[in-house]
């Protein structure tokens, strides 16, 4: 068994490390209060991701709650599932999601925009819906005066188009505005729309003691680690140093994942399904567990990895793309693995 002596990630970590991970001193003290001791680096890494603005909306949630959140045709209210769900009649529902990928696109426009598209498509088909259209809303600096803004625009537009074309879902429209205030940090909002039968909707939940949990899709690598914390920081002159926090997309793998997920959703073997986005395994397992009121045992040594010797916090926080968490009814494992 690893100890703090043999594994420095298990040694107590102080407030200086917490601040480097994006936590405030008062948040560090709250972590100590919750644990009843000093946290180690693994634990601080988890808290920094889950308490980031990107994952927790800790600063914006009060404003978000002032927006409309319910209606007679809503099948899933805001924040309940991976995407919004509206009853459109005749036994069909429309699933839709819009999400920003601003920070990654600011330092690596092509991959930042492409993985933004991939992420929202996964949010759609994890609910059992088939994506049918993509849109976008973009803001850049003055492209007539700033080479950086031209670089942003070319990379973002190509990233969105290439991912959509390879994935097989058309980009039907969008909007773009230019203003000098977006020179450093562009706004890249991607939207996906899908359709699903109302009796085929899959929830992002977990329950049932002994039910197996699968990670499906790509293997886990070191790309995107601390991506959620990075996305919650200000863009500065040194932000290019955070390039490893940008994820790398594979739309062809996502296409395979889409078809396999919809085939799986057509069975009754599923308990729940969740996209692995920000904070990877950490966020997806905790969100599904919280929704279903059931905990999970996670065996990190069973996670397929791209590199040897990945540390626990790297596996927990990796944001490698095209991965999903699937909870299956016990006894149906062989059927699911065959798909």
- pLDDT tens, residue by residue, 78-103: 778 999 999 999 999 999 999 999 99
Strands 171-178 and 130-140: parallel
CA-based nearest residue to 301, from 236, 173, 215: 215
**Structure-token pair, residue 224:** 């995107």
Of 54, 103, 152, 226, which residue is the catalytic one?
54
Instruction: Work out the pLDDT band at 171, boundaries 50, 70, 90.
Output: very high
Angle at 168 between CA 117 and CA 287, to 5 degrees: 40
What is the value of pTM for the model shown?
0.87
Kindly list the domain boundaries of the chain, sorted by start residue.
8-51, 61-200, 213-338
Q: In Å, how far are 30, 80, 88, 165, 309 from 47, measured between CA atoms? A: 10, 22, 39, 37, 23
Of 101, 103, 152, 226, which residue is the catalytic one?
101
Instruction: Work out the pLDDT band at 3, boundaries 50, 70, 90.
Output: low
Distance CA 50, CA 290 (A): 13
Distance CA 125, CA 14 (A): 41
115 phi and psi, to 5 degrees? -70, -25
Angle at 130 between CA 124 and CA 136, to 5 degrees: 55
| Residue 305, strand partner residues | 220
Tell me the per-residue pLDDT of 68-82, one tens digit each, with 9 for 90 and over. Answer: 888 899 998 777 899
Distance CA 289, CA 286 (A): 5
Residues 6+ apart with CB under 8 A from 246: 104, 107, 108, 111, 112, 115, 223, 224, 227
What pLDDT does residue 234 have? Answer: 56
Residues 6+ apart with CB under 8 A from 16: none
* Cβ atoms of residues 75 and 93 within 8 Å: yes
Task: Report, as an integer, the average pLDDT of 138-153.
Answer: 96
Task: Report, as an integer, the average pLDDT of 22-35.
Answer: 96
What pLDDT does residue 78 have? Answer: 77
Radius of gyration of the chain (CA): 20
Tell me the per-residue pLDDT of 208-264, one tens digit each, with 9 for 90 and over. Answer: 999 999 999 999 998 878 755 554 455 555 555 555 557 788 999 999 999 999 999
Q: Is 54 a catalytic residue?
A: yes
Distance between terminal CA atoms of the chain? 36
Distance CA 176, CA 76 (A): 30
Distance CA 149, CA 144 (A): 9
Query: What percentage of the chain carries pLDDT values higher than 70?
Result: 92
| Residue 89, strand partner residues | 92
Task: Report, as an integer, the average pLDDT of 155-173.
Answer: 95
- 94: number of Cβ within 10 Å: 18
Mean pLDDT of the chain: 90
Q: What burial class does residue 28 get, using C-beta atoms within 10 Å of its C-beta: 0-12 exposed, 13-18 middle, 19+ buried?
A: buried
Alpha helices per DSSP H over the chain: 15-20, 25-35, 41-50, 53-56, 61-64, 102-107, 109-125, 147-167, 227-230, 251-265, 280-292, 312-317, 333-338
**For the domain bounded by 213-338, which CATH number is listed?**
3.90.650.10
Equal CATH topology for 61-200 and 213-338: no
The gap from C-alpha 120 to its chain's centroid, in whole angstroms, comes to 8
Instruction: Work out the pLDDT band at 21, boundaries 50, 70, 90.
Output: very high
Distance CA 331, CA 1 (A): 31
Of 37-41, 143-147, 185-189, 277-281, the range with the lowest mean pLDDT is: 277-281
Distance CA 167, CA 274 (A): 19
Tell me the per-residue pLDDT of 286-339, one tens digit each, with 9 for 90 and over. Answer: 999 999 999 999 999 999 999 999 999 999 999 999 999 999 999 999 999 999
Domain 61-200 CATH assignment equals 3.30.1330.10:
yes
């Amino acid at each position: 068994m690893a100890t703090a002596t043999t594994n420095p990630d298990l040694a107590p970590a102080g407030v200086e490390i917490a601040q480097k991970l994006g936590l405030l001193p008062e948040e560090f003290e709250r972590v100590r209060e919750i644990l009843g001791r000093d946290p180690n680096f693994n634990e601080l890494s988890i808290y920094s991701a889950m308490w980031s603005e990107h994952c927790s909306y800790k600063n914006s949630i009060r404003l978000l709650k002032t927006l409309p959140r319910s209606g007679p045709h809503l099948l899933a209210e805001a924040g309940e599932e991976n995407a919004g769900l509206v009853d459109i009649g005749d036994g069909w529902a429309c699933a839709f999601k819009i999400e920003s990928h601003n920070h990654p696109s600011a330092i690596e426009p092509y991959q930042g925009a492409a993985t933004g598209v991939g992420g929202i498509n996964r949010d759609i088909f994890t609910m059992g819906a088939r994506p049918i259209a993509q849109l976008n809303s973009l803001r850049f600096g003055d492209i007539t005066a700033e080479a950086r803004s031209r670089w942003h625009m070319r990379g973002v537009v190509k990233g969105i188009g290439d991912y959509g074309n390879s994935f097989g879902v058309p980009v039907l429209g969008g909007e773009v505005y230019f203003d000098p205030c977006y020179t450093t940090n562009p706004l890249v909002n991607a939207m996906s729309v899908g359709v699903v039968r109302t009796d085929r909707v899959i929830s992002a939940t977990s329950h049932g003691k002994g039910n197996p949990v699968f990670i499906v899709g790509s293997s886990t690598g070191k790309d995107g680690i601390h991506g959620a914390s990075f996305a919650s920081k200000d863009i500065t002159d040194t932000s290019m140093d955070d390039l490893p926090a940008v994820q790398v997309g594979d739309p062809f793998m996502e296409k395979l994942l889409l078809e396999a997920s919809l085939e799986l959703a057509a069975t009754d073997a599923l308990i729940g399904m969740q996209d692995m986005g920000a904070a990877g395994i950490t966020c997806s397992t905790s969100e599904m567990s919280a929704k279903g009121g059931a905990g999970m045992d996670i065996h990190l040594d069973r996670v397929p990895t791209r590199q040897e010797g990945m540390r626990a916090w790297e596996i927990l926080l990796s944001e490698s793309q095209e991965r999903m968490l699937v909870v299956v009814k016990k006894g149906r494992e062989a059927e699911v693995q065959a798909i």
